[in-house]
Amino acid sequence: MTMQADFVIIGSGSAGSALASRLSEDGRHSVIVIEYGGSDFGPFIKMPAALSYPMNMGIYDWGYTSEPEPHLGNRRLAAPRGKVIGGSSSINGMVYVRGHAEDYNHWAEQGAQGWSFADVLPYFKRMETSHQNGHIGGEPGWRGTDGPLHVQRGKAANPLFSAFIEAGRQAGFGVTPDYNGSRQEGFGLMEQTIHNGQRWSTAEAYLKPALKRPNLSLVKGLARRIVIENHRATGVEIEANGSIQVVQARREVVIAASAFNSPKLLLLSGIGPGADLAAHGIDVVADRPGVGANLQDHLEVYVQQASTQPITLNSKLNLFWKAWIGAQWLFLRKGLGTSNQFEAAAFVRSAAGVPYPDIQFHFLPGAIRYDGKAAAKGHGFQAHVGPMRSPSRGTVKLRSADAKAAPEIRFNYMSHEEDWRDFRHAVRLTREIFGQAAFDPYRGAEISPGAQVQSDAEMDAFIRDHAESAYHPCGTCRMGRADDLSAVVDPETRVIGVDGLRVADSSIFPRVTNGNLNGPSIMTGEKAADHILGRTPLAPSNLEPWMNPAWATTDRLA
């Protein structure tokens, strides 16, 4: 059986679903989306509070792990990616962060012309409907009002959320009314991709409505390689129902398969470092040394504090409460089940002279690991904290020429002294926040790292043993100038050296953005669609983001 369409997209995730919707919306082009994973139906994905389950379930997750990380005691760290309709937007933590304006200005400076903040802000606005305080919109001019991606704030009913925000104010960092608006810096309410009490993945926002169109179809199969004839991509070879088939692309193939699988597919197709390809017996189509290089991520640790009041989530972890919360959610779409529990956040600068935030906090009114394991005994609360712009870089390489083999993922975390200095500061800063008067009614003993951890050496040992990925991998098919030998795609997302082939997902980020990557990945799909269709990009914004006027002299407000 031969399937064909004008555009063939590999991956139904954050960028892929947005691409599928936009490329098919005017009805003039046929589109096929190839997805290896299955249905996203079921409470583990739909219920926001169940977020720790799908990323630990083989049916929904590729199950990748890093190679032993030499600077983290040779630990192998989990590296989940969605293997399901909606991709990683169906298994992530549902935290919505655009990133800082200067992140995108840096992209443009690094050769991604047309991707400055002024260029991307209109796409963030196009894609979202922002719900704030019962109203649609938010800061005038900055937020979207009629996009497919619904973004909300939690109720923040637990008093620990307001204590965290007030503690940030007391420590001198200030409060931001909307970190996705003009001002990221400060403490404030966190935003969530949740709508009507359930996870609002890109499958819900983009793909499922678009699949009602006759010109868009979904094909289940494992993408094995891109078919390339005379340096032009003409289709995708897939394995489906036990046989090898080719999905033909009359116009273009677009890879949107994640920061791990997108470079893997390019490598399997002969696009990448020539010596690495030859070592696996793969013919070189385009010698691009940047494929699989430049891997970046965010690391974080949990700073946990005992609570003297029994108001935390730790009391809700027994079977009775889980059943009650599940029933409330299932039948009424109400209660704790409707939130990911991350409802307060902060973005701060680590030092005077740092022009914009480089530390992120997620605050949780419970003391429990992200994956749902290892809850603290008794009551507690925690902040997930980590630096945003590590200089460390890793790689994604082929383990073998077998398309079913997992790639070799080496993050090379904490490979610079700067990483250790920044992490120590982030932990000590969290202690300072928890030490403010706002937490006086709730603060018990420190659970983790524990009061005994004080010296740099003790802090380093804690970080080495306990740092975990925040699951924000990117950068492995870096976007840059067409004459940049380390770039993989040009600023219109075209793979350099091969016609009819693009990559559009977090793998093309020149540098990781501030915060969680789901929002920037969706924006990438939105913007890439206009490039693919040859449309004039949306007009750049002339709004000016807030920058701390005292950034050169203090890490706080003036």
**Cβ(131)–Cβ(85) under 8 Å?**
no
Binding residue numbers for FAD:
6-35, 84, 92-95
484: Cα separation from own chain's centroid: 26
Identity of residue 86: G
Residues serving a catalytic function are: 472
- Residue 401 tokens, joined: 């020429």
How far are the Cα atoms of 101, 248, 539 from residue 544, in angstroms, in the given order?
A: 9, 45, 15
**Cβ(521)–Cβ(475) under 8 Å?**
no
Cα gap 543→497, rounded to integer Å: 36
What does the chain come to in residues? Answer: 558
Q: Helix or strand or coil: residue 115?
A: coil
**Residue 26 CB burial class (10 angstroms; 0-12, 13-18, ≥19):** exposed
Quickly list DSSP for 378-409: S-EEEEEEEES-----BEEE-S-S-TTSPPEE
Tell which residue, 261, 262, 300, 294, has the closest CA to residue 471: 300
**Cβ(45)–Cβ(83) under 8 Å?**
no
**Cβ(64)–Cβ(331) under 8 Å?**
no
Which backbone phi and psi does 84 adopt, to 5 degrees? -170, 160
